Amino acid sequence: MIRAAGAVLWRDGSVAVVHRPRYDDWSLPKGKVDAGETVPAAAVREVLEETGFHAVLGRYLCQVSYRAFGRPKVVEYFSAQAASGAFVPSEEVDELRWVPFAEAGSVVTRDEDRAVLEAFLAEPADLATVLLVRHAKAGKRDSWEGDDDLRPLSSAGWRQADGLRSMLPLWGPARVHSAPRVRCVETVQGVAEGLGAGVLLEPRLSEEGYWPDREAGLVRLLEIADGAGTPVVCSQGGVIPDVVSTLADLGGLSLSGTPCKKGSTWLLAFRRPEPGWSTSDSHTSWPSLVSAHYFPTALPTPTP
């Protein structure tokens, strides 16, 4: 199988579409995942190579499957906001157009790209996103003689944390939050260091802080989601599945499950409420979860 990644690159109400002279078609930027590369990293790299723009990833859109060169091909797409950059023609892409959202579907050549644009247009482009991370591996509880709150990451856990430090910045995070346990903080410490910031501790998102008052924990996550920029939030396996499933139920979002491996990430996207909402309002006044995508690992998977 050919694995590939791409994005709907947008700015100021317009989408970037590129002309590929080899196929004489208009397409969304995409390309194959390189060996040793994650799918999100491939999406950002391909956008830069084909459009000249650095991209900040947003929500996960969809997966498209078709046959190419006699082999099955799977392309995973994200929403991505254009940051700095400028288009330079190349042999691969000789023209770029910024097309208004509503007109982009009539410009692209392939039906698969039209399906991706439909998924993109189903929600506002500027949704609030949260990267909800389960802490990385920290050995076995029974093998740790000290206070369990102080149990650190194992060598395998540090490798997972390094993967998160590489992958999570693709969403341009603005701040890092964590349950107070050492293994949670260590999992996202590298991301915070990359921002030149500290880790903000969130007692209500630890297992012992969440379950005595679930609603307060959920409200705290929604408050974080409604803040400025994209937050990274690290929590525990006893919290994350309940948070994701409950928010999905409140938002009317159907999920097939809520897996939560150590070192995994849920990419959550929320539609913001109208200005003036408060935590004392009904649930319909909170940010509403409209998209949830699970990354079982931040480490690259083998590519054929």
Q: Tell me, what CATH number does 196's domain have? A: 3.40.50.1240
Per DSSP, the residues of 270-289 read EEPPPTT--TTS-GGGS-EE
**For residue 304, is it within any domain?**
no
Q: Are residues 111 and 199 in the same domain?
A: no
Query: CATH number of the domain that 108 lies in?
Result: 3.90.79.10
What's the CA gap between 76 and 46, in Å, rounded? 12
- Nearest partner of 292 among 264, 86, 300, judged by Cα: 264
The pLDDT value recorded for residue 277 is 47
Q: Which residues of 185-208 are buried (b: 16+ CB within 10 A; e: fewer)?
A: bbbbbbbbeeeeeebeebebbbee
**For residue 301, is it within any domain?**
no
Domain stops at, among 121, 145, 176: 121
Q: Are residues 38 and 114 in the same domain?
A: yes
Range(s) of the domain holding residue 291:
128-295
Q: Are residues 154 and 76 in the same domain?
A: no
**For residue 223, is it within any domain?**
yes
Q: Are residues 116 and 225 in the same domain?
A: no
**For residue 303, is it within any domain?**
no
**For residue 302, is it within any domain?**
no
**For residue 62, is it within any domain?**
yes
The pLDDT value recorded for residue 55 is 98
Q: Are residues 163 and 114 in the same domain?
A: no
Give the chain's domain count: 2
Q: Are residues 83 and 59 in the same domain?
A: yes
- Nearest partner of 132 among 281, 245, 301, judged by Cα: 245
Q: Are residues 29 and 99 in the same domain?
A: yes
Q: Are residues 8 and 148 in the same domain?
A: no
Q: Are residues 86 and 108 in the same domain?
A: yes
Q: Are residues 31 and 162 in the same domain?
A: no
Domain stops at, among 98, 121, 144: 121
- pTM > 0.75: yes
Domain stops at, among 106, 121, 136: 121
What is the residue whose two structure tokens read 């260590």? 186
Q: Are residues 105 and 152 in the same domain?
A: no
Q: For the chain, list residues with pLDDT below 50.
A: 277, 279-282
**For residue 78, is it within any domain?**
yes
The pLDDT value recorded for residue 250 is 94
The pLDDT value recorded for residue 148 is 74
The pLDDT value recorded for residue 275 is 62
**For residue 137, is it within any domain?**
yes
Q: Are residues 60 and 153 in the same domain?
A: no
